[in-house]
């Protein structure tokens, strides 16, 4: 049976690892990391920086797995994700079988929180279907959602009101927006909104040296966010951002 840890490493700052995660790192023999191509080598570099900080003796191996390409067309989204997960599972299964020896522990370093907007747990079930016996342990991390709230010094929830979390492609289908966290919004769905009661709290590259924050009435700041996104994407080749949209509640008097 393969011993595998799924370790949440936060949004980019090595200081955001929990003590539990740091202790777990010290017992890992092989770290499996996804190679997503030259444009996003920063993400691989951040993982290596975490290992250098907490395991300076280099008592481990790093195995890079080439990430299969994913179709990005909006139509057939669910099918394209399913195909991508199947391809990932095949790559993971092969790497685990070849690189992790009996008695060793392997680990995947996962951005943020493994239980929130991460596909690795689902992919590991597909790995099991391919005949790889796994003993999994999940170590939670700090999510970008938590870090966004901390940076803007706000609480994500309000009294008696639900918090909704959606991907950008689903924002337009919500109808009325009261308190919504939006992730994975590559097409800037917020730009199509024109509601003067909405405030946006936006953050990009949270937990890294390139961290950016913008907040204010949506109508007043959305152009700034669009420009910042475009500028940084040109500079770095990729962007990770997240935002909270909140309807302001104004007091009324009789």
Per-residue pLDDT of 174-208, as tens digits, reads: 989 999 999 999 999 999 999 999 999 999 999 99
- Give the class (CATH, top level) of 2-139: alpha beta
Q: What is the pTM of this model?
A: 0.89
Spans of the chain, pLDDT less than 50: 251-254
DSSP string, 144-196: HHHHHHHHHT--S-BTTB--EEEEGGGGGGG-S-SEEEEE--TT-GGGG---T
Amino acid 251: pLDDT = 45
In terms of Cα–Cα distance, which of 147, 170, 161, 118 is closest to 241? Answer: 147
Amino acid 38: pLDDT = 64
Amino acid 151: pLDDT = 97
Q: Do 152 and 246 touch, CB atoms closer than 8 A?
A: no
Amino acid 152: pLDDT = 98
**What's the CATH number for 144-247?**
3.30.950.10
Segments making up each domain of the chain, as ranges: 2-139, 144-247
């Amino acid at each position: 049976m393969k011993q595998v840890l799924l370790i949440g490493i936060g949004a980019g700052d090595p200081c955001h690892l929990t003590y539990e995660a740091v202790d777990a790192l010290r017992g890992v023999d092989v770290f499996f990391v996804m190679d997503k191509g030259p444009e996003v080598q920063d993400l691989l570099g951040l993982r290596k920086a975490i290992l250098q900080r907490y395991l300076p003796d280099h008592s481990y191996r790093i195995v890079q797995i080439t990430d299969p390409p994913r179709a990005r067309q909006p139509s057939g989204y669910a099918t394209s994700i399913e195909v991508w997960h199947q391809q990932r599972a095949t790559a993971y299964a092969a790497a685990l079988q070849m690189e992790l020896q009996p008695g060793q522990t392997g680990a995947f370093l996962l951005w943020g929180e493994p239980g929130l907007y991460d596909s690795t747990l689902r992919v590991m079930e597909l790995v099991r279907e391919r005949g790889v016996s796994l003993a999994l342990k999940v170590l939670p991390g700090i999510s970008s959602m938590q870090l966004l709230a901390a940076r803007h010094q706000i609480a994500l929830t309000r009294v008696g009101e639900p918090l909704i979390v959606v991907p950008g492609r689903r924002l337009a289908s919500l109808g009325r927006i009261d308190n919504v966290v939006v992730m994975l919004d590559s097409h800037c769905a917020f730009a199509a909104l024109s509601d003067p009661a909405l405030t946006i709290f936006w953050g990009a590259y949270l937990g890294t040296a390139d961290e950016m924050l913008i907040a204010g009435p949506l109508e007043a700041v959305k152009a700034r966010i669009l420009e910042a996104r475009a500028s940084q994407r040109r500079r770095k080749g990729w962007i990770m951002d997240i935002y909270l949209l909140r309807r302001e509640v104004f007091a009324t008097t009789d």
